[in-house]
């Protein structure tokens, strides 16, 4: 990462009403889903009880079990009981058919409703005089199995969204706010405002995003960022609402609440991602839509063929109903959405926020990854190693004080290192005016009436200013240059350690056959040293943001499928150009608009995990699609009776059981995805 990182992020003011509405919408959706589960459960058990006497009275069952039980009017009793099951137990499917037809998108519910309606009305006609055979026991057992299948399926779907619900539950209900007189009061978190001071004791959840004013502690952010180790927090460090304070009391100044909070943004991103359809899901939706027409056609053809072969209408009708039931595109319709719900919510728990699902799934295609250096491959915790003035009248400490005064307004790791050194030396800092970030070059401000600039080597080169002798001594140093009124007055050298995780991550990615490159604003010496240490396939040094975009374009022109990692601010053009744009090191700011995926931490292992999990997600989708489609390819001919000559005949009830089983298999297979993401 070059020194063009300096920027100030503008946050919208909290909109409490909107936030509360969003929360209520999520709550209402969850409650609606729970109500539907309970409804299917209730309808199943009531329908099952009513089914029992119908099964006892069924001639086929009596023949199979070798008993006889008949009485005058038993057909009418079966009709009444079957009517209850049809209209009460079958109502979700009948209503579903009406909804689908209104939308002019007939699908699974229409198929089920048609099948049970044909069986019911034909059997009812037979009861009242039409010559033929009644299908009441087949009808009610079919409805029972369908209700059971939907009940199990919806429980699985509910389980898939539990991770997101857990995120929403992470916020405490109250906060301990400190009043102006120093006393504390417990208030609902909805009443917290930016600028409030709150006290968080050991073991308590932090109620809002903020900055530590007093105290030292460790904070567990694992449920929010995926970082398993507790993170040390002291004065001026930022904390995230929902994380758990460990061993020390903290006084915190509230920065973000409501809709502007980190947790709210994460929940919003996850919800939007789950709604967004990828190319894979669009394919599954199209296939499920076509399957309705195929199933309907197959059912009618089955009826006609068996009638033409001389079979009676009862037999042909039974085959048609079985075909229509067994070919319901339920499993196919569930194949992708359930995987989406699981992968998106589980990813969020591990600090991977997916904004573009197609890009996430396409991560399996990556051939090249371009890594940023600072804060990603390296720790980003810079310490000042050398600082030297090259201007008369300005000593070395004066130079550091000038630089620290400007860097005090920046949040970049390099800035933090310079400010930290000035505090160690107890330097007095002036207050700058007109601070601004110069994209791709550095920062500038007015200080004591002079225009002061701090530049990366690339920025200095762009201004055609020659680097002073001795600026670069060791390969592991990063150097920034200080200018006063466009004249070089000195330089500051900082060292940044390579992350322990970087080597492991790069080895993992290389095993996947991915080429690893690095693009940095640092000089050739530093870039080369890092590249050789980590065993990269290549590097680009002293690059500007627009250079990164050109690098990606050139690689894409050569047929490479490229991922770019950047900070989401200065690297926006490159992130937008890349096939997969990954914003890293976003911290509490998750609004990286140009990125496809946001990594809360700057850990390169997260990038390796992301690609592996994206590949696993796509495989799981394809497994489900192939299972759902393959099941129909095999099951529909069997239902139609192609093996009837060999004695293999599927009843409507068995067809319903197989259809429900296929749906449950798809749901369970999707759940296995949770095991395939690493912490």
- Whether residue 422 contacts residue 401, with contact meaning beta carbons closer than 8 Å, is answered with yes
Radius of gyration of the chain (CA): 33
Write out the two tokens for 266. 């994460």
Across the strands, what pairs with 516?
369
- Whether residue 345 contacts residue 169, with contact meaning beta carbons closer than 8 Å, is answered with no
Write out the two tokens for 281. 């899901």
- Whether residue 301 contacts residue 636, with contact meaning beta carbons closer than 8 Å, is answered with no
Nearest Cα to Cα of residue 172 among 68, 257, 110: 257
Q: Is 7 exposed, middle or buried (0-12, 13-18, 19+ CB in 10 A)?
A: middle
Would you tell me how many other CB atoms lie within 10 Å of the CB of residue 180?
Answer: 6
Going from the C-alpha of 576 to that of each of 520, 550, 570, the distances in angstroms are 18, 12, 11
For the beta sheet containing 217-220, the strands, ordered from the edge strand earlier in sequence to the opposite edge, are 231-233, 217-220, 244-245
Cβ neighbours for 645, distance < 8 A, ≥ 6 positions apart: none
Write out the two tokens for 507. 């080895």
- Whether residue 521 contacts residue 420, with contact meaning beta carbons closer than 8 Å, is answered with no
Write out the two tokens for 215. 């105290």
Out of 2, 196, 209, 372, the active site residue is 372
Say how far apart CA 674 and CA 679 lie, in whole Å. 11
Would you tell me how many other CB atoms lie within 10 Å of the CB of residue 28?
Answer: 10
Nearest Cα to Cα of residue 145 among 630, 637, 666, 651: 651
Check residue 105 and report its DSSP letter: -
Cβ neighbours for 18, distance < 8 A, ≥ 6 positions apart: 258, 259
Check residue 258 and report its DSSP letter: G
Residue spans of alpha helices (H) in 309-446: 313-326, 330-349, 357-362, 396-407, 413-424
Helix then strand count (H, E) for the chain reads: 22, 22
Say how far apart CA 465 and CA 470 lie, in whole Å. 15
CA 324 from chain centre, in angstroms, equals 36
Please confirm, yes or no, whether 396 is among the known catalytic residues: no
DSSP string, 505-567: HHHHHHHTT-EEEEE-SS-HHHHHHHHHHHT-SEEE-S--HHHHHHHHHHHHHTT--EEEEE-
SS3 category, 286: helix
CA 176 from chain centre, in angstroms, equals 32
Say how far apart CA 326 and CA 635 lie, in whole Å. 7
Say how far apart CA 311 and CA 306 lie, in whole Å. 6
Strands (E), 80-221: 174-178, 184-188, 197-200, 209-214, 217-220
Q: Token pair 């509360």 is at which residue? A: 20
- Whether residue 472 contacts residue 379, with contact meaning beta carbons closer than 8 Å, is answered with no
Nearest Cα to Cα of residue 483 among 522, 442, 520: 442
Catalytic residues, by residue number, are: 372
């Amino acid at each position: 990462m070059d020194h063009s990182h300096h920027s100030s992020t503008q946050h919208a003011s909290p909109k409490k009403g909107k936030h509360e509405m969003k929360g209520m919408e999520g709550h209402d959706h969850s409650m609606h889903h729970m109500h539907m589960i309970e409804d299917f459960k209730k309808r199943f058990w009531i329908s099952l009880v009513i089914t029992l006497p119908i099964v006892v009275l069924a001639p086929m069952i009596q023949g199979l079990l070798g008993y006889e039980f008949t009485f005058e009017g038993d057909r009418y009793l079966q009709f009444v009981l079957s009517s209850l099951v049809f209209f009460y137990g079958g109502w979700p499917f009948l209503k579903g058919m009406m909804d689908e037809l209104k939308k002019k998108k007939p699908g699974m519910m229409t198929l089920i409703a048609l099948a049970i309606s044909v069986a019911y009305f034909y059997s009812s006609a037979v009861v009242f005089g039409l010559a033929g055979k009644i299908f009441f026991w087949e009808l009610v057992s079919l409805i029972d199995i369908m209700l059971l299948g939907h009940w199990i399926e919806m429980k699985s779907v509910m389980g898939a969204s539990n991770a997101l619900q857990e995120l929403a539950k992470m916020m405490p209900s109250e906060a301990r706010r400190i009043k102006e007189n120093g006393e504390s009061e417990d208030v609902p978190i909805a009443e917290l405002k930016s600028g409030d001071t709150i006290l968080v004791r050991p073991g308590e959840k932090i109620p809002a995003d903020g900055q530590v004013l007093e105290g030292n502690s460790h904070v567990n952010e694992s449920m929010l960022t995926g970082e398993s180790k507790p993170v040390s927090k002291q004065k001026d460090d930022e904390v995230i609402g929902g994380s758990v304070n460990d061993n020390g009391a903290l006084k915190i100044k509230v920065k973000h609440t409501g809709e502007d909070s980190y947790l709210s943004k994460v929940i919003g991103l996850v919800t939007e991602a789950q709604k967004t359809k990828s190319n894979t899901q669009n394919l599954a939706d199209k296939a499920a839509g076509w399957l309705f027409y195929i199933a309907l056609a197959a059912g009618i053809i089955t009826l006609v063929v068996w009638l033409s072969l001389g079979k009676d209408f009862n037999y042909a009708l039974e085959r048609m109903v079985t075909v229509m039931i067994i070919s319901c595109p339920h499993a196919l319709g569930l194949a992708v959405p359930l995987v989406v719900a699981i992968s998106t919510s589980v990813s969020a728990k591990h600090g991977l926020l997916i904004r573009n699902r197609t890009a996430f799934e396409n991560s399996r295609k990556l051939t090249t990854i371009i890594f940023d250096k600072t804060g990603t491959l390296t720790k980003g915790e810079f310490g000042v190693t050398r600082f030297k003035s090259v201007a008369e009248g300005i000593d070395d400490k004066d130079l550091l004080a000038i630089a620290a005064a400007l860097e005090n307004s920046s949040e970049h790791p390099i800035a933090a290192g310079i400010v930290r050194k000035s505090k160690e030396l107890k330097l007095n800092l002036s207050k700058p005016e007109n601070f601004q970030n110069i994209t791709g070059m550095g920062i500038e401000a007015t200080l004591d009436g002079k225009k002061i600039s701090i530049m990366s080597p690339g920025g200095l080169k762009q201004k055609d200013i020659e680097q002073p002798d001795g600026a670069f001594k060791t390969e592991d140093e990063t150097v920034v240059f200080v200018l006063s009124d466009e004249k070089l007055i000195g330089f500051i050298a900082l060292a940044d350690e390579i992350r322990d995780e970087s080597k492991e991550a790069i080895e993992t990615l290389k095993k996947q056959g991915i080429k690893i490159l690095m693009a940095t604003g640092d000089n050739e010496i530093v870039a080369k040293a890092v590249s050789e240490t980590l065993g990269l396939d290549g590097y680009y040094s002293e690059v500007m943001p627009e250079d990164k975009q050109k690098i990606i374009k050139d690689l894409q022109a050569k047929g490479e499928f490229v991922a770019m990692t950047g900070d989401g601010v200065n690297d926006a053009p490159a992130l937008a150009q890349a096939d997969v744009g990954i914003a890293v090191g976003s911290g509490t700011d998750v609004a990286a608009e140009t990125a496809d995926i946001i990594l809360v931490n700057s850990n390169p292992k997260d990038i390796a995990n992301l690609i592996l999990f994206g590949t696993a997600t796509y495989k799981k989708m394809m497994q489900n699609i192939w299972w759902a489609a393959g099941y129909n390819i095999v099951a529909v001919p069997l239902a139609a009776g192609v093996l009837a000559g060999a004695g293999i005949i599927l009843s409507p009830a068995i067809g319903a059981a197989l259809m429900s089983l296929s749906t449950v298999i798809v749901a369970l297979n999707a759940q296995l995805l949770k095991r395939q993401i690493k912490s």
